[in-house]
Copies of this chain bind each other. A is one copy, B any other.
Amino acid sequence: MWKETAGETTRLPGVEAWEEEREGFRVSTVKVLSPEGARELGKPEGTYVTLMLSGLLRREESAFPRAVTALAAELRPLLPPGEGGVLVVGLGNRSITPDAVGPLCADHILVTRHLIHQAPEHFGAFRPVAALAAGVLGTTGMESGEMVAALVEKISPACVIAVDALASRSLGRVCRTVQLSDTGIVPGSGVGNDRFALNKETLGVPVIALGVPTVVDAATLCADVLAGAGLSECDPSVLGEAAAGVIVTPREIDSQVSDLSKVLGYGINQALQKDLSLADLEMLLS
């Protein structure tokens, strides 16, 4: 979980936190720099970035290219140095709309690993990129982590970029933020239940995680409402029962998931292939 404000974290020992603006979007960064900081915040040492894309939803002019540029700029410093190969993994279930961000993002990745060998005269200067929509345990019979581990052993990328939908504690963040981190991810923390972590320990290479909250669970929504109604302490079983098996999403979830997936895919492309413009990408991907 992500701290709501930079202010309260910045005073902790072994933690640095700040806010800034990038391309007109608010960016909040938290760096956990020591075991003490990790204990305090309850998450591993590493960098955690939240990019607020609120303008995108309002369809402000040029919001798409600005969002892509901002995401690429935040992603680049999280990547390991060098120009080694990258495996981009889209986690989640393509046929459940709010869980489809990962697979849809994978569809927008500029895949170059094979082209570098097939047409070195055109693609020799590109960074090698492979992409996978890993599917989910229920439709493949394999943990997505298991599948990614097998491919990492086979093709030996320098790092993995994993994209997944998340559940959020806050309605205000849903479909409006991208959360980046260099500490890996546990697939299915959004809609599913998958529990095989993807990180440097399990895969042997750094894992950069990109997550987008697309659902709030009903219990969270209700807790917010109860708090708003001045009833902050209540029997959690009441919430649980009302909320079992339901999800809360924006009314426009289909189009928002589609838009965000494209921002993520193009942002990753621009971070990895530094000299490509958005127009180049459109042409290469269409």
* B-binding residues in A (CB < 8 A): 59, 61, 95-97, 107, 111-115, 128-133, 135, 137-143, 146-147, 149-151, 153-155, 171, 174, 191, 216, 218, 221-222, 224-226, 228-229, 231, 234-235, 238-239, 241-243, 245-255, 259, 279, 283, 286
Contact call B154/A139, Cβ cutoff below 8 A: no
State whether A142 and B171 are in contact (beta carbons under 8 Å apart), knowing that A248-B246, A286-B59 are contacts in the complex. Answer: no
Top 6 nearest A-B pairs by Cβ distance?
A: A113-B141, A130-B141, A150-B154, A111-B141, A150-B150, A222-B225
Copies of this chain in its oligomeric complex: 4
Contact call B231/A231, Cβ cutoff below 8 A: yes
A46 to chain B, nearest CB (A): 27
Residue among B129, B143, B246, B283 making CB contact with A251, cutoff 8 Å:
B246
Bound state CA distance, A128 and B140, in angstroms? 11
Name which of A95, A141, A229 has the most chain B CB atoms within 10 A of its CB. A141
Bound state CA distance, A140 and B31, in angstroms? 33
Contact call A247/B241, Cβ cutoff below 8 A: no
Contact call B141/A114, Cβ cutoff below 8 A: yes
